[in-house]
Amino acid sequence: MSSIFEVIENKGLDLEQTDYYAAILGESPSKGAKSPSLWNAAFKGLNLSGFMHPMDILPEKLEEVVKCLRQDNRFIGGAVTMPYKIDIIPYLDDLESEAETIGAVNCIYRDKGKLIGSNTDGAGALWSLEKEIDGSLSGKTVLQIGTGGAGFAVASYLASVMGVEGCLILANRSNESRDEIAGKLQGKCRVKSIDWPISSNQLDNVDIIVNCSSIGFETLKEDDEGTFSLKYYSPLGPVNNLPRVEKVKDAEKQYLRAAIDSINKNFGRSLRILAAADNPFVFDIIYQPTQTVLLFQAKLVGCKTLNGVPMNLEQAVIAFDKATVAAGLRSPNSNEIRDFMSKVR
């Protein structure tokens, strides 16, 4: 069995500093993931000898990382972030029914030696959205862009409270995942699938726009063609055939120079669509940056907006509660966790 430090990219973690530990698993959570600061505020506030560490993982090492964590009884669980919310499932021992239905995991916890997958994205999104609009989603028309791991969770929870008079409109870069989710949600509310990128008339009568895609996310991305960024784009405009640059120190600046035409095209189309709409409420579940291009444009045209910070807080509250209760460290009490986590800035 490999040591955990042989299979993660960031090697300088001190896993011995506390009696037990949690981790957030992802491509590069060490570059700004919020969960560690939230979990660690709760550990400290509750006087628990625990600490959450970010673990940067290459795709080919994910299975080995999970094996290492399973073997270490000091690991109580944690969070799963992009791009492993679906990929991690075969390596876990079991899933909660909601996570199994959704087909994605953002939380894991240890229960009697087994690693259990859960999904708290949907509950966190619904909690933050209902709180912000100060009312029910029943009968609303919601356009959701993005139907990946977090997207399915959010759509499932939204559909469950919208009722038969509500309408959930789904758009995604991949029609396959969009149509699969639409089929699973039929019966909870009216569900429609539309092509992406959307057109202006598809926002007619839309009350709420929810972005669950990664378009607008802050961190640089890489693929076989090179380095690129989605930070400069809105999900209401096209992001096809984006340029790539070399992975260098100033890669973001180089990308901005190379992509100026595609950025302008995306920005112009997105702003025209929002300006023609009837002031929908705009919710972007991205929390890095706290103001995405979509939210910036929505504010420009007078729409009320919500970023992903409250959702990120609430899903962390639920996940921390699951992990520490299953580990026998405390009794369930989400309010006390929320009190400590909400003080994190």
What amino acid occupies position 176? E
User: Active site includes 85?
Assistant: yes
Closest to 99 (Cα-Cα) out of 309, 319, 313, 312: 319
How far is C-alpha 215 from the geometric centre of its chain's CA atoms? 12
Show the DSSP H helices in 109-218 as ranges: 121-133, 149-162, 175-185
Q: 184: burial class by Cβ within 10 Å (0-12, 13-18, 19+)?
A: middle
Q: Which of 85, 140, 231, 322 is catalytic?
A: 85
Closest to 217 (Cα-Cα) out of 5, 28, 14, 1: 28
Q: Which residue shows structure tokens 């021992």? A: 93
Q: What is the C-alpha to C-alpha distance for residues 228 and 241, in angstroms, rounded to an integer?
A: 11
Beta strand 114-118 with 50-56 is unpaired
Q: Which residues pair with 110 in a beta bridge?
A: 115
Q: Which residues pair with 169 in a beta bridge?
A: 143, 192
Q: Which residues are catalytic?
A: 85
